[in-house]
Structure 1
Amino acid sequence: MQEHERELAELLRIGREASHLVMEVYATPFTVDLKGPDDPVTQADRRANDLICGAIEAAFPGEAILAEESVPSDPAEIAALARQPRVFYVDPLDGTREFANRNGEFAVMIGLSIAGRAALGVLVLPTTGEALVGWSLPEASAQASAHASVQASAHASVQAPHGSEALQGAFLEAPDGSRSPLRVSTTRTPSEAAAVISRSHPHPSLRPLLDRLGIGRVVQCGSVGVKVARVVTRAADLYVHTGTGAKLWDTCAPEAVLRGAGGAFSDLHGDPIGYGGPDLVLSRGIVATNGALHDAVLAAARPALS
């Protein structure tokens, strides 16, 4: 088993433990607090954050972690962590608003960036019990990951269904533990594509962009992770976020899974998302597609950028 497979096995175990905790809270009459305007948080967010970060610290001693509910307040400390060659980005409950609304559209997400790029990702959907696992490792990143050792033994191996030698791949693990490979759709014509859009806060510039593409079929849901999961599982072909509210822990795990499944991920300008800088905010939007539609989506986005 390669090093990235052992690391993914550990992250999958941690993600599933956090998912169980989230569902325990979901079954109670929990309260919702506000960290800031329109920024809800629950005990599920906080407890899952503590569980995940503690488990990562035990399994990967000394590694950098940037987690939503425990991110340092000092920008210099954030920058120092982000500069590390390997950084874990944790969103313990992506879709807190959906969690509070009890519509089931939320995810537990753990991503690992290597040399500033999303490399490993685990995305667990607590209400379905499914987990999406992906990796996208350039050869240099694969060599870098070999220097890290997992101190806690993995409870289950994570191997690509078609062999473990590939440096890119993704699979879905069902609640019963069975696994199936994930591969994005092959839709190439925008008018035949389905776009996944936000249920709770669609940006006003999104509809004109979709109209320029000729897309009439949309899938509504919450959570960045759940939206990207819809693209990975072929329920949709593309996801575009034209706002500026997302942060790096919203995208690291989903990007690794989508790229592993053959998709493409960038900002609205077509540039890769950088995970090594001091700014956690994605100020240039998100474009996540099946790859075949990526250039068309970027072209449709240009009028909004000028």
Structure 2
Amino acid sequence: MPALALELEVARRIARQAGDLLLQVYATDFSVTNKAGGAGPVTLADERANAFIVGELRKAFPGDGVVAEETEDASDAKRFERCWYVDPLDGTQEFVNRNGEFAVHIGLAVEGRPALGVVYRAVGDVLYSGVVGGQGFVEDPQGRRVLRVSDVADPAALRLVVSRSHRSSATDAVVTRLGITREKESGSVGVKCGLLAEARCDLYVHASDKSYRWDNCAPEAVLRSAGGILTDLAGVPYRYDGSELQNRRGLLACNAAAFDQVLPVVSQVAREAGLLP
């Protein structure tokens, strides 16, 4: 049996079931509350899916840690060699706006590094999954396909996917300096990284400190299984070991062919914006 095959199968099942829970709430006139400290909106869907995923993972893998966005105690990240990072509803603002661009994230980190990821976009029934060092796949109503990032190397030819809800002036500066002319808007870190993994986009820059490890653990594993790269804005991979949970240095996701040319520009913009020292 391939490495992590059982974990991948279980994570895929849980993600689909959690997606069904999200859609049940999505079909209702749900209410929205704001988290303390301006940390964004939260709905009944976030809470229900969070409780379900955490419960299922603990049942299936009692020896593993679990860190989830809507669970206050994140100490498992420091206590376990294997730890699951869960975002039950990545893109809550997109859920609230009812544009379908939200996803379930279930990622497994081993010894602080992403090992496996599942990203499920319930609207449209699109499931991305991959094991780092193995092959990634996307499944949708049209079938199952291998994931592989593009080989576009010219920065000016890159297709940038940008946040629909959180675009910054730093992103505009990256676009100008790289000469990018093609952009696509999308919600959810997972959905954006899925577009890169499918070679439908080539670059994603999140020039902000407002994301957390549960936002990117699963997407990073999927993207890396497709030959892509995800780092902070300085080109340094994030650790998933509990040393910090907030992505204080933003996110850069790119195909491998253009990464070395894109990184210096992105890092310079990030320094000017105060995101890097």
Range class of TM-score, shorter chain: over 0.9
Determine the C-alpha separation between the residues in 2 that align with 1:71 and 1:125.
25
Kindly provide the CA deviation profile for residues 10-32 of structure 1, in whole angstroms up to 9, marking residues without a partner as x: 10000000001111111111111
> Structure 1 residue 283 and structure 2 residue 271: aligned?
no
* RMSD of aligned Cα (Å): 1.4
Paired position in structure 2 for 1:162: none
- SS at 2:205 equivalent: strand
Residue type of the partner of 1:172?
V
| CA distance in 1: counterparts of 2:86 and 2:254, whole angstroms | 22
Paired with 2:183 and 2:79, the residues of 1 have a C-alpha distance of 38
Which whole-Å CA distance do the structure 2 matches of 1:277 and 1:50 have between them?
21
Match of 1:235 in 2: 200
Q: Contact 1:79/1:278 (CA < 8 Å) preserved in 2? A: no
TM normalised by structure 2 equals 0.94
Calculate percent identity across the aligned residue pairs: 44
What is the TM-score of this pair, normalised by structure 1?
Answer: 0.85
Q: Which runs of 5+ in 2 are unaligned?
A: 273-277
Per the alignment, in what secondary structure is the counterpart of residue 29 of structure 2? coil
- CA apart distance, 1:127: 0.2
- Of the three residues 232, 250, 260, the one matched with 1:267 is 232
Query: What's the offset of the Cα at 1:83?
Result: 4.4
Partner of 2:98: 102
Aligned to 2:275: none
Q: Residues of 2 paired with 1:84 and 1:171: CA distance?
A: 28
- Secondary structure of 1:81's counterpart equals helix
**Cα shift at 1:80:** 5.3
Deviations 1:131-150 (A, max 9, x none): 000111xxxxxxxxxxxxxx
Give the one of 157, 164, 170 matched to 1:205: 170
* Other-structure match for 2:108: 112
Match of 2:117 in 1: 121
The residue aligned with 2:41 is: 40
Tell me, what secondary structure is at the counterpart of 2:52? helix
Q: Deviations over 1:108-164 (max 9, x none)?
A: 01000011111100000000101000111xxxxxxxxxxxxxxxxxxxxxxxxxxxx
> Greater RCO between the two (CA within 8 Å, min separation 6)?
1
**What corresponds to 1:90 in structure 2?**
86
CA distance, structure 2, for counterparts of residue 82 and residue 108 of structure 1: 23
User: Hey, what's the Cα distance between the residues in 1 that align with 2:212 and 2:98?
Assistant: 23
Secondary structure, counterpart of 2:67 in structure 1: strand
The within-5 A match list for 1:121-200 is 121-136=117-132, 167-175=133-141, 178-200=143-165
Report the CA distance between 1:3 and its aligned residue.
Answer: 4.0
Aligned length: 270
Taking the aligned partners of 1:31 and 1:282, their CA distance within structure 2 comes to: 28
Give the secondary structure class of the aligned counterpart of 1:70.
coil
Q: Deviations over 1:212-264 (max 9, x none)?
A: 11111111111111111111122210101110001000000000000000101
1:245 matched to 2:231: no
State the SS of the aligned residue for 2:244.
coil
Structure 2 residue aligned with 1:62: 63
CA contact (8 A) 1:171 1:182 kept: yes
Q: 1:277 Cα deviation (Å)?
A: 3.2
